[in-house]
Structure 1
Amino acid sequence: MKHEDVEKQLENYKNKIENISIPETLLDEAIEKGMKQHKESKVSKKKHRYYLPKWTWAAIIFLLAGCVWTVYLIDPVFLRGNPSWESAMQNEYYHEINYTEKKGGINFTLHGVMMDEKNIVSFITIETENKVEYASIGKIQLFDQDGKELIFNGSYGSMDDDDGTKKRRFRHTVDAQISSDDMLKNGLRIVMDVHVQDEGVDESVETFSVPIEVEQIKVAKKQQYEVNETIEIADQKITVEKVVMYPTRAEVHVVLDSTNTKDILDYTNLQLEDGKRNVWGKVTNGVVNIMDEKEPHKDILYLESSYFQVPEQLFMTLSKVQAVNKNEREIIYSMDEGKIIQAPDNGKLIDSVFVEDNSLVFAINTPSEEEFPFGMFSYVLDEQGKELELYSSFNSIRNGKGYYGLELKNIDTLKGNIRIPVQYYPTFLEAEKEIKVQIK
């Protein structure tokens, strides 16, 4: 890099840093960490002395400051559990927007986005100005500038109370996968409904619509590796077609053999490694896998991405999957008789079923929360296959038992059998030894 290019980059960093509001606690932590590092570095300087031009030291200082900027330009909570997003931000694939709108006692902020050829991740904070009983995010839609709605998969952040009051603040990530043609030809618009209700007052809904100018965003090209290798776990055959790297995630494309007797729900310990103890595992926020409804025998699995490290060799390892018999994918429950008609593994893990606060709750023997961090259900069908109105689904694990609930509209009047497909279930298949596949 030329000297004048370095000076220009440093000036850009300087301008960014001067306009950042850094929380005082983070600043204190950074100072304390810097002091500690300075003390440690003084020890090494007694052994080795290096002399650098003044402008080089200036570059080091500003580049380090730039790293702090990339990490803390948005609340670190947004990035927790997703090293790929943090790496993308550190490599300047985060585009700051800071769009703010106030409406109906709600403060809506779109902080910014990360984007590549297929994915766009938006970071949003919503706060209520007044104390309320209830606040939640409703429908989310994504449109191009021609008004065409884009189909995408989304993930949700958590909601927090402010200092024990009834004011609400919640952070939300819209983690969308859409085609490059749709994404890059036009700008985007994200539309989100926010539902708020106070005691004794009808629920109100405010809609926020935010434009995103695509042409201003730094977009990275994918890295693709063809694999086409078949592995086998407990007689279930899985073909790894390819691995595709994006800054925001890695995609592992797999095809399930038509002769398999099980539906594989989750690839429990799937990860990528480079043979030098560097590992890229499953993310704990963002979308974790997608099944193509048109081709249900195909799955796309999402892992942390090695996009910015580009190892010389890359392997995929797997030894354990979550699976149920194909003919037991649904729990069938009789609302009339109050009993289970069908369940995975003949219902052996289900301890009890009860109705509480307009919710149907299943008590199921599960591993610990760390080993089974899943919501089990996402939708419910009636006997004719029509989807019932589901207010919410929830889960918690206590003392080795999981409680999985479905809050249904008019649950007291529901008749006949209802069908509840399981998205996850704590029954596992294990290979005799770890399977290792070379990717590159």
Structure 2
Amino acid sequence: MWNKEERILSDDAHEMKANSEQVREMKLTNAVQRGIEQGKRRQKKRLLSYGGGAFITAVVIVLFILSSIDFPDNGENSLTGQPVTRSVTTKSWSDSDLFIEAPGLNKALGNVLSNDLIQPVYQSTEKNGYRFEVLGAVTDGRKLYILYNINNKTDQMIYHVGESFRYGSYEDSGLGASTELAQSGDSYIQPNSTKNFIYATNLPESKIYTSHQAIYEINVYKENQSQTSIEVAFDLDINRFASQTDSFDINKTMQIDDQKIHINKVVYTPLHTYLDLEYDSSNTKDISQLINPVLIGKAGEKSEKLFYPKVLTPSNSDLFSKENQRTLVFYSSKLNHFDSIALNIQGISALEEEQKKIVIDLSKNEIVQAPDNDLQMIKSSEEADVGDVLFLREIENAVTLRSGSMWLDSQFQDADGVSHDQEPSGGVRASGFSTSSKDDIGEDHYSYNFGADAVNYPQPLTIKIKRYWNPILEDQTLQLYSSSK
């Protein structure tokens, strides 16, 4: 259990940050995702043309001569077949001040910036009046951050709409990738101005990287014109922190409410701490969340607790071969060795398989079945169509237990078993989750548009639940590692 004041301060900071960034993040994320999808479609077509033997004009990498020394590489990019000029910069990293106060900066990257751990790149290229420079990058083999800027040399406003990353023969799918501005505002870039960005993605640990060459590509959009794709190639040392990495094979099991959780590995790096786990395939309940996992490390008289991890799943990353695999991503550790490691959790959020659905009668505007009696269904707005509804739920102990938001399938079935696609919601209120630290109350609201014709479908209608907060409290601590054994 952690100190109460520490929890309250963390929760209040989290809430203020979420509220201040909500609108900016929504705009930027939507644009980035659209750009990623368009870029991926374009890249697939380009790869087909290369495979067919067509000759494509090489992309010229404009090197920043004043800060680099060129070392020509007579080989080709193993992915695209394009000739590439690689270079090694002689310039030291000196631009942390541009990123250290980024609104969306996480503690891990802030720590790397503060401790001068960024690998300097300073490679740039220019196309159609847009200058794109990768300033620096850092990876521990699992997490990757790229710090870059875009300079608009045209007389029109431009918009950064997407990106992609390739490393040797590996191409990132974009699932779980994110782009953050290094300053407040939006990603519009005015004429004769520059904006800085932070790209973050997850790399598969199991992937064997046979090349040090990375290629980062961005898409830039100007009104009434097609997107411009620009890429920069640079060397990226994926093993840079190998000597500073501690890895522990655990292979132990926790059991809560008869549900088994296998803890496979813990990895400490200067960027993050990773805990790999797997839910047992024979579990009778679908576990959506571990409640308040805390990783406790000890070294001599020093003890350290790592809280509030991000969770990587098959839904938000492409790292896993199984649906029941998860990775908890904590902040980096300050300990330089470990005498013992333990994991404490307060329980799980889980549902029986038959509970994982919401059944409604749209003609009567009522819920027929739900996992509990707390869920309400109302019209999204007075002007909304009859098929546009809002599911609303108030949750107690939302802050204390770090409850998660609801997530529903994008398809639903009518009473005859016919599947229908959810339509874009026209309601005023979008889906979301808000909490109040003062009252320890959460409000989960989820907009769902069945469509105007759905009232005429055979009733009732059934939606599968992908995630739903259903806490099963059972405080447990598992000793993962001890040097004395």
TM-score per shorter chain, which class?
A: 0.5 to 0.7
Equivalent-residue separation in structure 2 for 1:364 and 1:127 (angstroms): 45
Residues 364 and 279 (structure 1), Cα distance of their counterparts in 2 relative to 1, 3 Å cut: same
Q: What SS class does the counterpart of residue 72 from structure 1 fall into?
A: helix
Asked if 1:380 corresponds to 2:401, the answer is no
Question: 1:75 pairs with 96, 100, 116, which one?
Answer: 100
| Equivalent runs, 1:184-333 vs 2, <5 Å | 185=211, 187-192=213-218, 206=227, 208-215=229-236, 219-221=240-242, 222-275=245-298, 276-283=302-309, 287-291=310-314, 294-306=321-333, 309-332=336-359
Q: For 1:26-58, what per-residue CA distance to the aligned partner results, in whole angstroms no more than 9, with x for missing partners?
A: xxxxxxxxxxxxxxxxxxxxxxxxxxxxxxxxx
Question: 1:116 pairs with 140, 148, 173, which one?
Answer: 140
Q: What SS class does the counterpart of residue 410 from structure 2 fall into?
A: coil
Equivalent-residue separation in structure 2 for 1:349 and 1:236 (angstroms): 25
Equivalent pair of 1:333/1:340 in contact (CA under 8 Å)? yes
Q: What SS class does the counterpart of residue 240 from structure 2 fall into?
A: coil
Q: How many angstroms does 1:362 deviate by?
A: 1.9
Other-structure match for 1:349: 374
Other-structure match for 1:437: 479
Percent identical pairs in the alignment equals 14
Residues 81 and 174 (structure 1), Cα distance of their counterparts in 2 relative to 1, 3 Å cut: closer
Q: What SS class does the counterpart of residue 278 from structure 1 fall into?
A: strand
Question: 2:171 pairs with 133, 149, 153, which one?
Answer: 149
* Cα RMSD after superposing both structures: 4.6
Other-structure match for 2:432: 395
Residues 227 and 335 (structure 1), Cα distance of their counterparts in 2 relative to 1, 3 Å cut: same
Residues 229 and 293 (structure 1), Cα distance of their counterparts in 2 relative to 1, 3 Å cut: closer
Equivalent pair of 1:123/1:173 in contact (CA under 8 Å)? yes
Q: How many angstroms does 1:315 deviate by?
A: 1.9
| Equivalent runs, 1:109-188 vs 2, <5 Å | 112-123=136-147, 140-144=163-167, 149-151=171-173, 153-156=175-178, 162=185, 173-179=199-205, 181=207, 183=209, 185=211, 187-188=213-214
Q: For 1:273-294, what per-residue CA distance to the aligned partner results, in whole angstroms no more than 9, with x for missing partners?
A: 22434111224xxx52224764
Other-structure match for 1:362: 391
Q: What SS class does the counterpart of residue 255 from structure 1 fall into?
A: strand
Paired letter, 1:381: Q
Equivalent-residue separation in structure 1 for 2:435 and 2:100 (angstroms): 30
Provide the aligned length of Structure 1 versus Structure 2.
Answer: 355
Paired letter, 2:380: V
Equivalent pair of 2:391/2:448 in contact (CA under 8 Å)? no
Equivalent pair of 1:289/1:301 in contact (CA under 8 Å)? yes
Other-structure match for 2:470: 427
Equivalent-residue separation in structure 1 for 2:131 and 2:390 (angstroms): 35
Equivalent pair of 2:405/2:469 in contact (CA under 8 Å)? no
Equivalent-residue separation in structure 2 for 1:374 and 1:170 (angstroms): 32
Equivalent pair of 1:332/1:341 in contact (CA under 8 Å)? yes
Equivalent-residue separation in structure 1 for 2:167 and 2:425 (angstroms): 29
Equivalent-residue separation in structure 2 for 1:107 and 1:337 (angstroms): 58
Equivalent pair of 2:254/2:262 in contact (CA under 8 Å)? yes
Instruction: Give the gaps of 5 or more residues in structure 2.
Output: 1-92
Q: How many angstroms does 1:365 deviate by?
A: 1.0
Paired letter, 1:351: Q
Equivalent pair of 2:133/2:149 in contact (CA under 8 Å)? yes
Q: For 1:324-362, what per-residue CA distance to the aligned partner results, in whole angstroms no more than 9, with x for missing partners?
A: 22333344556565444543x23x221333334786432
Q: How many angstroms does 1:195 deviate by?
A: 7.5
> TM-score, normalising length from structure 2?
0.58
Equivalent-residue separation in structure 2 for 1:405 and 1:131 (angstroms): 38
Equivalent-residue separation in structure 2 for 1:107 and 1:335 (angstroms): 54
Equivalent pair of 1:361/1:403 in contact (CA under 8 Å)? no
Paired letter, 1:380: S
Residues 426 and 181 (structure 1), Cα distance of their counterparts in 2 relative to 1, 3 Å cut: closer
Instruction: Give the gaps of 5 or more residues in structure 1.
Output: 1-67
Residues 87 and 361 (structure 1), Cα distance of their counterparts in 2 relative to 1, 3 Å cut: same
Q: What SS class does the counterpart of residue 185 from structure 1 fall into?
A: coil
> TM-score, normalising length from structure 1?
0.63
Specify which structure has the higher proportion of helix: 1
